[in-house]
Structure 1
Amino acid sequence: MNSLTETLARATLRGSDGGAFPKSAKAVDFPLVAGFYLEKAPSDDEIKTFVDALEAFPELRSAATPRDSKSVKNLRHLRWECVEDVGNVKAMRRFKRVEVETAKELSKVFDDAMLEQFDTSAPLWDCVIVTRKKGVSSVWDDDQTGYPEPPVVLVRVSHAIGDGIALVDVLKRVSSALDGGDVKLLSFKRRAQATKRSVLAAIWAFITFIFVCMYGAMKALLTAAGPYDTKTTFKGSRPPYGFSGKRRVVVCPPVAIDDIKAIKNVSGCTVNDIVVAALAGAIQAYHAKVGDKSATKNPFLRSATPYAFPERVTGALTNSWTFVSLTFPMGVMSATTRLQKAKKTCDFMKRSPEPYVTRWLNKFVNAAGPDVQRKVVFDYMSRHSMVFTNVPGPTETIVLMGSRVRDIVFACANLVNQVSVVSYSGSLRLTLVVDPDATPDAQYIGDMFKNEIECLRKEVL
């Protein structure tokens, strides 16, 4: 394990004893949860085939254990220890079948999946297969854009197993395209840079680069000890920050990728710029709806956003990322103005050494010991309003467990609100995991996210 994987595994092993945070936060470990809506429920044989494919990865047959006797108590140094052989029937025990009658019951299954702790003596993953109760009405009782009709398979994985890029490699191994070929994914390219510059432009670019490096380094060093975000309804929690024991999954209506691409092509922005701007506008509208006084001001609102490092071993399950602090363009403004502000912020971050300085700091804090590390992680996270992650999924329909996948939902809880965006087969879907008491009516944010995309489309095109 690298130091980051050790940190995440330590959180899973501590479980309800604080997870990645100090005991005083009363937090738990928060698994990654991917929901795959299938055309039909998988049979036992199809599940066995799925497990056989998973077991190609040693980490999915292993438990996280102390590396030496000194680490038994403080879990400072950990390793993967294989506890199941290939084809072991024990893996089938981590599949649970649940029947639901209504969308409300399905919503509760999602909520429970966010907080249920793993059996740490076994590999750190499991599955919940949700189907409709037999004999109920053939009409599903809810809006299909929120919680589509089952069957749905919830795959729960400890973050220690791997980051988003690594887990996409797992998905590629266990699924296929409709024609039986390889799963197709987005190919990301950085925005093209100017190839020719005047002497003055080159000098100015160098001066700007030095400033960006200095600012990024200071930001990475001081964020955990810096100011807190503005107290808003969206941030929800108030000092002393801690986990309330409640989390609700809010699945928002899908947005057409073609609409986002059309905005991207005309505006010169990236998909991520557009998503950040639309989310900021949606939160702004949410504040106005709930009567938050910050709706008429410019609140300081940031997300702790995972930054994936490009250097990694292809096909290996690992964690190669860190958090960067992303400031959202809040306040009353047009959708296009917000988009330009988001683009400026994201462009600045792409040139900043902040993620690399933060990675170095993480190693230093990890060397100081688990207790120091938990305190620093808590200080960093509690200063932000949310964790925001954007996960690119397959670009075309895939087959999983012998069935066509109709839709994919990705969600994860955290000490603060978590907002996850996942794309799949021409659609992009926003999922929020919030404290329902501190951030009520969060569904409105999803509705307004779609509205912001529509506003951008009308203003830009």
Structure 2
Amino acid sequence: MSLLHACTRRTSDPESLPSLPKTRRRPTAVAASFGPFIFLCWIWTFLIYVWNTLVEVILSVSTTIYLKDTKILNMGKEGIECRPRRIVHRTLCLDDIIPIKNTIGCTINDVLVGATSAALSRYLSRKYGGLLPKHLLIRTALIVNIRRISGINDLAYMMKEGSEAKWGNQFGYFLLRLPVIKCEDPLDYVRNAAANTEKKKKSWAAILNYKSLLLISKCLGIKVAAVLFNSITSNLTLSFSNIIGPIEEVSFCGSPLIYIAPSVSGHHEPLTMQVQSYLNKIKVVVQVDEQAIPDPHRFLDDITYSLQIMKAAAASAT
């Protein structure tokens, strides 16, 4: 996606690269404010990161060996990665998501993860006649970009020797549980997602997952790394990624882009979601194994409906 964005130009200015929305950065303490209290805060933060990372490592190892999601969507079946997939997409308005984000005090990604959790709850509840099975374990591999540089770089700079814009995919992942339950307050889905992702962010799990697979592939070969990675994804229900796109209209080789809808293939999860922002819109791309989800358009309807009732709940809460 970085390469694709680097090949586009603003429609209004064909010589200029597109720009991305500003991302919120965590405040950092300056050296002038260093003192005993700040030192204790650093120690406490370090311990939190160590503990959360340890928990994530245990979860990843357990998932690789034996911990499997509830096979409610025909997940983990032999040859699922080779079966045909159906790709559907839906355009959402960013203005419908921002009020929910501001009410909860979270990120847009948290809202989308919460809406996915609510949509799954609604979809499975309808599938089982309004009665959700208890103690469901539904998890997603939440993909995280771990590149050190952000923004859109010129292709010439990316190809320049010594450039910090390294080639190849550089992403890690978190294992995030999605509660499939009925909530009286629809905003509880977002609150739960925000609380869980905040714990994941306060760890080095994403970087560790990426580095460990990279080390295994170099030492033991790419086939061993692929087997280990597949043993994790085959025990999960879905994967989820959110990519930030240009905030103005762009063109590719002189042709204006109406929307951007990325997807992937060859994976074991029966449900994959890619979310791509572009202009003031968000494109939700769902790829499904039709033996698991035979009506993906209905699932997209559930996502849209979940966001609508969340927006109404956010409006009544303010």
- Cα displacement (A) at 1:210: 4.0
SS at match of 2:258: strand
**Amino acid in the other structure paired with 1:251:** H
> Which secondary structure does the structure 1 equivalent of 2:69 belong to?
coil
The amino acid across from 1:455 in the alignment is I
Shift of 1:270: 0.5
1:320 aligns with 2:173: no
Cα displacement (A) at 1:315: 4.3
- Give the match for residue 228 of structure 2: 376
CA distance in 1, matches of 2:131, 2:221: 39
Query: Does the Cα contact within 8 Å between 2:76 and 2:268 map onto a contact in 1?
Result: no
| Helix, strand or coil at the partner of 1:438 | coil
1:209 CA displacement: 3.9
Show CA shifts across 1:128-183 (max 9, x none): xxxxxxxxxxxxxxxxxxxxxxxxxxxxxxxxxxxx4x33xx42333323233331
Name stretches of at least 5 consecutive residues in structure 2 with no aligned partner: 150-162
| Aligned counterparts of 1:271 and 1:445: Cα–Cα separation in 2 | 20
Instruction: Compute the TM-score of the two structures, normalised by the length of structure 1.
Output: 0.58
Structure 1 segments unaligned to the other structure (5+ residues): 1-163
1:294 and 1:380 mapped to 2: Cα distance?
29
Identical counterparts, % of pairs: 21
Residue 363 (str. 1) matches residue 214 (str. 2): yes
Partner of 1:216: 56
Q: Out of 229, 251, 269, which is 2:89 matched to?
A: 251
* Cα distance change on mapping 1:324 and 1:290 into 2, 3 Å: same
- Whose Rg is larger? 1
- Write the letter of the residue equivalent to 2:12: L
SS of the residue 2:115 aligns to:
helix
Please report the TM-score for the alignment, with normalisation by the length of structure 2.
0.81
Which runs of structure 2 are paired with 1:31-430 in the superposition (5 Å)?
164=1, 166-167=2-3, 170-180=4-14, 181-192=16-27, 202=41, 205=45, 207-233=47-73, 236-240=74-78, 242-252=80-90, 254-291=91-128, 295-311=132-148, 313-333=163-183, 334-366=185-217, 367-413=219-265, 414-416=267-269, 417-430=271-284
Structure 1 293/452 Cα, relative in aligned 2: closer, same or farther at 3 Å?
closer
**TM superposition shift of 1:346:** 0.6
Q: Secondary structure at the match of 1:188?
A: coil
**Aligned partner of residue 172 in structure 2, secondary structure:** strand
- 8 Å CA contact 1:220, 1:355 repeated in 2: no
Relative to 1, partners in 2 of residues 1:356 and 1:226: Cα closer, same or farther, differing over 3 Å? Answer: farther
Counterpart Cα distance in 2 of 1:341 and 1:217: 21
Could you tell me how far 1:192 is from its partner in structure 2? Answer: 4.9
CA distance in 2 between counterparts of 1:331 and 1:449 reads 15
Report the residue type matching 1:330 in the other structure.
V
- Following superposition, the deviation at residue 345 of structure 1 comes to 0.7
Partner SS for 2:256: strand
Per-residue CA deviation, residues 24-83 of structure 1 (Å, 9 max, x unaligned), is xxxxxxxxxxxxxxxxxxxxxxxxxxxxxxxxxxxxxxxxxxxxxxxxxxxxxxxxxxxx
* Residues 244 and 315 of structure 1, relative CA distance in 2, 3 Å threshold: closer
- The alpha-carbon deviation at position 364 of structure 1 amounts to 3.6
Question: Matched residues in 1 for 2:129 and 2:37: separation?
Answer: 49
The 1-side partners of 2:277 and 2:231 are apart by: 31
SS in structure 2 at match of 1:243: helix
Q: 1:192 to 1:331 in 2, by over 3 A?
A: farther
> 1:214: how far off?
2.4
Query: How far 1:435 moved relative to its partner?
Result: 1.4
Range with greater deviation from structure 2 (189-198 or 348-357): 189-198
The change in CA–CA distance for 1:241 and 1:284 in structure 2 (over 3 A counts) is farther
